[in-house]
Amino acid sequence: MKHRAVKRRNVVIGIGAAAGAAAVGGITLNANASNTRGGSTSGSSGALVFDKDDYTELTETIADAAGKNHEVVYRFYKPRNYVANPSDDTHQSLVVSVPVKIDGKAVDASKAPIVLANAVGAYMPSSVAKATGVGQAQLEMTGMGAMPGGGTPSGIPSGMPNGGTGAINGMVNLAKLAIAAGYVAVEPGTRGRSLTDSSGAYYGTAPAAIVDLKAAVRYIRFNKGRIPGNTDRIVSTGTSAGGAMSALLGASGDSPLYDTYLKEAGAADASDAIFATGAWCPIADLEHADAAYEWNWGANKLSTGKQVDQTVSKELKSQFAEYQASLKLKGMKGFGNLTARNYDEYLLKTYLQPSATKYLAALSGSDRTAYLAKNTFITWSDGKATFTWDDYLTHVGARKKTTPAFDAFDQSAGENNEFGTGTTKARHFTAYSLVNDTTGLTAKRLDSDIPELLRLMNPMYHIAQRHSNRSKHWWIRLGTSDSDTSLTVSANLAAALDNIGDDVDHEYYWDQGHATNTDPGDFITWVAKVTGYKK
């Protein structure tokens, strides 16, 4: 990678409790910065003005979605805070990358879409503090632990380590693909559920991540004319918990529900609405996720061969039926009312069989024959794949999570930590799990702040509100073998958006697990299409 310095300066990033300062990735970390919430600094102060001349010009070879290499010359703007009163400015900072030349041809990105690529996973912190170029946002996974009964916490692909810092294994780097396509890429860091201050209080739990993403959007829009790109054409992307946050960001544009949090952080005085949303395998609708999970995967055993508690599974399935009926959703493509009784048929006809058909049709004749020989549950006729729901479940095999999958009776799930508060690491967020708690709790009711936190964290709530400034264009993807969540979560999300008239592109990847993206090139093309961008 070649470097050409342009108006260099030290970027100051605070780390709160430690004394002195240290250099990390070429960035000076100022240990004297505040690590407490609150403050009165205006979000529209000069501290949030983007210096468009403070960049380093880099040259990098970047492969596009088809694997073709391109020489991309781009301006890289080092980490800078996007709020005036950061509680943790190591995480509440972002980087910007702007292409100026691709394969020797000059690029004018002044009107290009801005891809806001978050690196959130498992509701853990993400950071760009060490970034020295595009696509280096990191997910921090230290101290995640393991799920009871086997498996890994929500949002982490199987086989991924539960400690250390790094990008999620196998996830496509959309920031790099964005600048290789001539778009502007913005990568924000965010607070996450594992962060504690010097007193042991958790300050990155709900709703910190979504507040940070909204603040990042406000920063971008506040700096219209200074940050290159079209600030009215921001496209959010995220995977897993990051997919849920991306969907929530799109659904809740300019919702007043977040105003107090944003003011406290010193967010810029601007809109937090985005134009389009990309969400891969979103771990969303958490208060109903346990019920949805059992409806989908209740019959499947764990990887250990052990069957989950079927009494609990059946009770949760019953809850799903009530919840699904309350949504009063109509399926996409004219399916009709969606209920717990016909949802398997809906998934088969609308997503699963078309997904298998697309996969098989793309294979060579010999490879297709070999695949069908190994997967005899599929009937291949007239270029279409058909099979039953039960055979599909058998094909997927082991479920990833025990029951309840998200609000664990022993409060050990990552999502229990996500709703922690103060020095309390984990809390229940569903009445069912509270009643069945195994840790010795005697409380009869959920903590009084939980209902509001659930509204702050659930895109389904905001879709029902029909915010006028919500995203109107949606790209939603999930792997058919992804048992990190229920297939109904993304399907309900898509149907709810479709029912209120939004443009929704929703598909499942056949035989793919969690955190996968098999059509990134199509997404990059979709961004240009929905934003109306032409080079």
Extents of the domains making up the chain: 2-283+519-531
* Euclidean distance between CA atoms 387 and 389, whole angstroms: 7
Find out whether 493 and 478 touch, Cβ atoms under 8 Å.
no
Per the listing, tokens 């989908």 go with 296
Q: Pairing between strand 330-331 and 503-509?
A: unpaired
Mean pLDDT on 314-339: 98
Radius of gyration of the chain (CA): 23
Q: How many C-beta atoms lie closer than 10 Å to residue 142's C-beta?
A: 12
Can you give the pLDDT at residue 45? 62
Kindly give, in sequence order, each residue whose CB lies less than 8 Å from that of residue 529, ignoring residues fewer than 6 positions away.
none
Q: pLDDT tens-digit profile of 135-144? A: 999 999 865 5
Q: What is the pLDDT of residue 89?
A: 81
What mean pLDDT is predicted for residues 170-196?
94
Region label for 432, one of left (φ > 0), alpha (ψ between -120 and 50) or beta (otherwise): alpha
Q: Write down the pLDDT at residue 171.
A: 72
Counting every residue written for the chain, the total comes to 535
Question: What's CA 35's distance to the chain center, in Å?
Answer: 26
What pLDDT is attached to residue 141? 80
What crossing angle do the helices spanning 487-499 and 286-297 adopt, rounded to 10°? 120
Average the pLDDT over 271-290 and give the result: 98
| Residue 186 pLDDT exceeds 90 | yes
- pLDDT tens by residue, 434-447: 999 999 999 999 99
Q: Is the pLDDT of residue 31 over 70?
A: no
Tokens linked to 12: 């100051």
pLDDT tens digits, 75-91:
999 999 999 999 988 99
pLDDT band, very low/low/confident/very high, at 21 (cuts 50, 70, 90): very low
Q: Inform me whether the pLDDT recorded for 41 exceeds 80.
A: no
pLDDT of 203 reads 97
SS3 (DSSP) at 238: strand
235 residue type, one letter = V
Q: Are 2 and 22 in contact (CB under 8 A)?
A: no
Instruction: Compute the average pLDDT of residues 276-292.
Output: 98
Neighbouring CB atoms inside 10 A of 456's CB total 20
Residue reference for tokens 């898509």: 494
Specify the pLDDT at position 38. Answer: 34
| Right CATH for 2-283+519-531 from 3.10.129.10, 3.40.50.1820, 3.40.50.300, 2.60.40.10 | 3.40.50.1820
Give yes or no for residue 237 having a pLDDT over 60.
Answer: yes
Helix (H, G, I), strand (E, B) or coil at 116: strand
Q: Which of 190, 246, 284, 254 has the alpha carbon at shortest distance from 473?
A: 246
8 Å CB contact between 279 and 243: yes
Backbone angles phi, psi at 424, to 5 degrees: -85, 115
Q: What pLDDT does 170 receive?
A: 56
